[in-house]
């Protein structure tokens, strides 16, 4: 693997894997702390609730990126699975094109909106709301990059008359 | 209601046809609607971000998923299965009953049908295969008993329904108990007749010492639902906190009591938890975009005025809703049906004065049956994959079980006390 590819992989893994996993672990520990403080020490902490709900936004939205990377998301493949591989190739090209266009349109206004939120902070921990809500543009950007990459591979497959999907080809295990 | 409403639903249909992730389809539909209406797309962040931060109860979902992953990875399922086997003993088709009982016990720990089918299911299918049960029946019974998972507390679909409807999660959990037992009974009756007809193997004799050994072995795992439900119903913990405590408890017993968990596998469990949560939350995020549109276009008001003219009684309404959701369940994912369609019909539930907890349990059971019906029968795919059985054979075996489950659904739909009786025990 080239150095650039390695750096890119580390960068992507940081956003798509490490941030949501670490946030989830913190969320889990904070919940336990909350129960401990409330029932053992009898000293309820307000910050735990605020931390949990905000961490949850990051886990949910950034976690969607890694699910998309592994094609775990819910799809309706009744028609897709019944057509030829060429037809499937065309459907994938159309699907990724729509995602790239729609999400690319949504990225700039999302950042404009986050800029408007720059002075807003959470009441107790004073976490900037824009940092929490940044998860949404991260999801959009990650999806545009990934869909764009898959789009290029699918167009190449079409041009080369191979038609089959060139990514995520390994057999997946059950997630639960 | 304006013509703009067509846009998001049209885009969603296109997303369905193109095999686009449905959550993305909903987001693209929302973006298209916002653009057409001239609303700033940036405010979609507002809708989704604040929607998620205001849904404290949803945090229970990744925690329940984490618990299910820990349970399955640490082979706690083996202990549950052994315990269920010692409870059933010698009967024709004993392992069929064991399958039902083990699913009921496991249901008290995870709240996910797929977790049951893919975790406990592996054990159930391999054991039944070893004992000479025919494989299509084995896979079909495993898939059918997995339906119990989200009906007996805790339950991920109940948590999502609570978020949509404003119903109490505690009451929903309590309300699911009797219906889960009804499901066990109807499937049990079916196993009884089919085992006699097909001469399925008689289970092994279990003496008192074996029973004691398996009970003691399973006891730490069996305490999980006790910890969870005791925490919720004594008011010590919220259902979300109970999810975290149950996850911590399963981690503790897996590491220190059963010693079946390694730190190395924890990384994979965490990653799988994030992936599964990500798939659910993308749909939820998309649904927030859609719910803004549905509210802005006053769809519910229109639906109430049209439906109240067409359907005269709550009985007929429940019948129509059941048929509609059975069809939806066979075509689309449970979370999508729930997040897109339930908010639209909720005003009708209030209009016909139907208890929202009763309706929630009914609709969740209905959608779980949808997991058994082709073409989008997730449980069929999971168990057919484990048992290496053709879908055609499996569907043939599953059909009578679906009929049996529909009978249970009819009982639960038209005898609300089956659900409400237990909810009265919660303040």
End-to-end alpha carbon distance in chain A: 31
For residues A60 and B275, give the distance between their C-alpha atoms in angstroms, rounded to a whole number. Answer: 9
Q: Is the pLDDT of residue B99 over 80?
A: yes
User: Among candidates A128, A111, A134, A150, which has minimal Cα distance to A62?
Assistant: A134
What does the block give as tokens for B20?
A: 């686009």
pLDDT greater at residue A30 or residue B122: A30
Contact: B276, A53; criterion CB under 8 Å = no
Q: What's the pLDDT score for residue B373?
A: 87
Q: What's the pLDDT score for residue B123?
A: 84
Q: What's the pLDDT score for residue A138?
A: 94
Kindly state whether A141 is in contact with chain B, defined as any CB-CB distance less than 8 angstroms. no
Q: What are the angstrom distances between the C-alpha of B242 and each of B154, B221, B235, B367?
A: 10, 16, 10, 25
The pLDDT tens digits of the residues spanning B46-82 come to 899 988 888 888 898 899 899 888 888 887 888 888 8
Q: What's the pLDDT score for residue B297?
A: 86
What is the band of B417 on the pLDDT scale with cuts at 50, 70, 90? very high
- When the pLDDT of each residue in chain B is averaged and rounded to a whole number, the result is 89
Contact: A176, B52; criterion CB under 8 Å = no
Contacts of B115 in chain A (CB under 8 A): 176
Q: Is the pLDDT of residue B23 over 70?
A: yes
What is the band of B275 on the pLDDT scale with cuts at 50, 70, 90? very high
Count the neighbouring beta carbons within 10 Å of the beta carbon of residue A111.
Answer: 17
Count the neighbouring beta carbons within 10 Å of the beta carbon of residue B173.
Answer: 28
Q: What's the pLDDT score for residue B76?
A: 84
For residues A60 and A64, give the distance between their C-alpha atoms in angstroms, rounded to a whole number. Answer: 6
**pTM of the predicted protein model:** 0.88
Q: What's the pLDDT score for residue A173?
A: 61
Kindly state whether A68 is in contact with chain B, defined as any CB-CB distance less than 8 angstroms. yes
Of A21, A35, A143, the CB nearest to B241: A35
Kindly state whether A63 is in contact with chain B, defined as any CB-CB distance less than 8 angstroms. yes
User: Among candidates B77, B99, B80, B104, which has minimal Cα distance to B191?
Assistant: B99
Kindly state whether A138 is in contact with chain B, defined as any CB-CB distance less than 8 angstroms. no
Which residues are CB-neighbours of B132 under 8 A, at least 6 positions away? B201
Q: Which helix (H) or strand (E) holds B180?
A: helix B177-198
Query: For A15, which DSSP code?
Result: I
Q: Is the pLDDT of residue B349 over 70?
A: yes
Contacts of A28 in chain B (CB under 8 A): 63, 66, 244, 247-248
The pLDDT tens digits of the residues spanning B179-196 come to 999 999 999 999 999 999
Residue in A with minimal Cα distance to B66: A176
Kindly state whether A47 is in contact with chain B, defined as any CB-CB distance less than 8 angstroms. no
**Helix ranges, A45-84 (H):** 46-69
Of A76, A112, A176, the CB nearest to B115: A176
Share of chain B above pLDDT 90, in %: 47
Q: Is the pLDDT of residue B86 over 80?
A: yes
Of B22, B65, B241, the CB nearest to A74: B22
Of A60, A94, A103, the CB nearest to B18: A94
Q: What's the pLDDT score for residue A54?
A: 93
Q: Is the pLDDT of residue B122 over 90?
A: no
What does the block give as tokens for A61?
A: 């939205």
Q: What's the pLDDT score for residue A1?
A: 64
What is the band of B228 on the pLDDT scale with cuts at 50, 70, 90? confident
What is the band of B302 on the pLDDT scale with cuts at 50, 70, 90? confident
Contacts of B119 in chain A (CB under 8 A): 176
Q: What's the pLDDT score for residue B334?
A: 83
For residues B407 and B190, give the distance between their C-alpha atoms in angstroms, rounded to a whole number. Answer: 12
Q: What are the angstrom distances between the C-alpha of B219 and each of B62, B80, B104, B154, B247?
A: 25, 9, 15, 19, 16
Contacts of A122 in chain B (CB under 8 A): none
Q: Is the pLDDT of residue B387 over 70?
A: yes
Q: Is the pLDDT of residue B376 over 80?
A: no
Q: Is A163 exposed, middle or buried (0-12, 13-18, 19+ CB in 10 A)?
A: middle
For residues A151 and B317, give the distance between their C-alpha atoms in angstroms, rounded to a whole number. Answer: 45
Q: What's the pLDDT score for residue B11?
A: 93
pLDDT in tens, chain A (176 residues): 688 888 988 989 998 999 999 999 999 999 899 888 888 888 888 899 999 999 999 999 999 999 999 888 878 877 888 899 999 999 999 999 999 999 999 999 999 999 999 999 999 999 999 999 999 999 999 999 999 999 999 999 999 998 888 887 776 665 55
Share of chain B above pLDDT 70, in %: 100
What does the block give as tokens for B298?
A: 């006053």
């Amino acid at each position: 693997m080239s150095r650039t590819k390695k750096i890119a992989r580390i960068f992507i893994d940081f956003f798509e894997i490490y941030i949501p996993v670490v946030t989830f672990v913190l969320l889990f520990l904070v919940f336990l702390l909350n129960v401990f403080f409330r029932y053992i020490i009898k000293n309820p902490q307000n910050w735990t609730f605020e931390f949990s709900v905000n961490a949850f936004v990051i886990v949910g939205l950034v976690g969607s990126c890694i699910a998309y990377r592994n094609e775990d998301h819910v799809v309706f493949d009744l028609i897709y699975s019944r057509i030829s591989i060429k037809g499937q190739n065309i459907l994938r090209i159309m699907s990724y094109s729509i995602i790239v266009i729609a999400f690319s349109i949504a990225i700039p206004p999302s950042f404009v909106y986050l800029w408007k939120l720059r002075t807003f902070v959470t009441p107790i921990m004073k976490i900037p709301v824009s940092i929490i809500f940044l998860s949404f543009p991260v999801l959009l950007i990650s999806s545009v990059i990934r869909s764009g990459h898959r789009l290029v591979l699918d167009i190449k497959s079409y041009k080369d008359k191979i038609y089959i999907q060139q990514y995520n080809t390994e057999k997946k295990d059950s997630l639960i | 209601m304006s013509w703009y409403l067509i846009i998001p639903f049209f885009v969603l249909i296109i997303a369905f046809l193109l095999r686009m992730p449905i959550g993305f389809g909903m987001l693209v539909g929302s973006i298209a609607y916002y653009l057409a209406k001239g609303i700033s797309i940036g405010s979609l962040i507002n809708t989704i971000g604040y929607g998620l931060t205001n849904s404290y109860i949803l945090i229970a979902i990744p925690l329940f998923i984490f618990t299910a992953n820990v349970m399955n990875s640490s082979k706690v399922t083996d202990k549950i299965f052994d315990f269920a086997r010692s409870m059933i003993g010698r009967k024709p088709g004993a392992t069929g009953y064991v399958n039902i009982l083990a699913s009921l016990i496991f249901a008290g720990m995870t709240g996910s049908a797929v977790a049951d089918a893919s975790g406990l299911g592996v054990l159930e299918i391999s054991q039944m295969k070893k004992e000479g049960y025919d494989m299509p029946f084995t896979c079909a019974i495993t898939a059918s008993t997995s339906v119990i998972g989200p009906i007996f507390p805790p339950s991920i679909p109940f948590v999502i329904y609570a978020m949509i409807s404003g119903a109490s999660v505690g009451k929903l959990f309590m309300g699911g108990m009797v219906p889960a037992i009804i499901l066990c009974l109807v499937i049990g009756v079916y196993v009884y007749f089919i085992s006699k007809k097909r001469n399925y193997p008689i289970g092994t004799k279990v003496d008192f010492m074996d029973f004691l050994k398996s009970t003691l072995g399973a006891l730490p795992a069996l305490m999980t639902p006790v910890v969870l439900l005791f925490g919720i119903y004594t008011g010590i913990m919220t259902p979300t906190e109970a999810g975290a405590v149950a996850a911590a408890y399963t981690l503790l017993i897996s590491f220190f009591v059963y010693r079946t968990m390694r730190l190395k596998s924890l990384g994979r469990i965490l990653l799988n938890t994030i992936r599964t949560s990500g798939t659910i939350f993308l749909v939820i995020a998309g649904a927030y975009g859609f719910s803004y549109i549905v509210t802005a276009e006053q769809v519910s008001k229109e639906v109430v005025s049209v439906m109240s003219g067409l359907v005269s009684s709550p009985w007929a309404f429940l019948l129509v809703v059941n048929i509609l959701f059975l069809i939806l369940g066979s075509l689309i994912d449970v979370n999508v049906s729930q997040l897109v369609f339930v908010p639209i019909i909720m005003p009708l539930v209030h209009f016909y004065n139907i208890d929202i907890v009763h309706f929630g349990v009914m609709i969740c059971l209905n959608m779980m049956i949808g997991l058994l019906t082709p073409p989008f029968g997730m449980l069929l795919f999971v168990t057919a994959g484990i048992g290496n059985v053709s879908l055609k054979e499996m569907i043939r075996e599953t059909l009578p079980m679906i009929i049996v489950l529909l009978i249970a659904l009819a009982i639960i739909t038209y005898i609300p006390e089956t659900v409400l009786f237990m909810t009265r025990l919660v303040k």
